């Protein structure tokens, strides 16, 4: 419940801001990829400003996620190793418990 509320408190304002940004910036903007010849039509792209902004935001999220994922690889590897080790120890403990002699019956 708390996670859902927190997600709503973050996602709702972000969605409203993105919608307002999209409606307010519908004008076409040209972006050229050739700094030496800005008039080159082969490397000039025109789209509404909000598409460029949202595209840059999406690209940043994807690139950042990939960088974090790649740098955290060693931690995931260590976690997998420790989980396998714990599973092996648990299996050994269960096998040892099964092989243990049953408790001696009391003499009556």
56-65: pLDDT as tens digits:
999 999 999 9
Please give the residue that has the higher pLDDT: either 43 or 105.
43
- How many CB atoms are closer than 10 A to CB 50? 19
Model pLDDT for residues 25-46, shown as the tens digit of each residue: 889 999 998 888 888 888 999 9
CA pair distance 70, 77, nearest whole angstrom: 11
Span of 17-21, 58-62, 74-78 with lowest mean pLDDT = 17-21
pTM over 0.75: no
> Rounded CA gap, 24 and 27, in Å?
8
- Per-residue confidence band for 66, with pLDDT thresholds at 50, 70 and 90: very high
């Amino acid at each position: 419940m708390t996670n859902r509320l927190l997600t709503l408190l973050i996602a709702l304002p972000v969605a409203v801001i993105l919608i307002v940004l999209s409606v307010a910036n519908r004008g076409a903007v040209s972006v050229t990829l050739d700094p030496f010849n800005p008039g080159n039509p082969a490397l000039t792209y025109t789209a509404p400003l909000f598409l460029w902004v949202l595209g840059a935001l999406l690209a940043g999220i994807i690139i950042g996620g990939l960088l974090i994922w790649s740098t955290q690889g060693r931690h995931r590897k260590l976690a997998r190793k420790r989980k396998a080790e714990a599973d092996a120890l648990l299996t050994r403990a269960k096998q040892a418990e099964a092989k243990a002699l049953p408790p001696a019956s009391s003499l009556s």
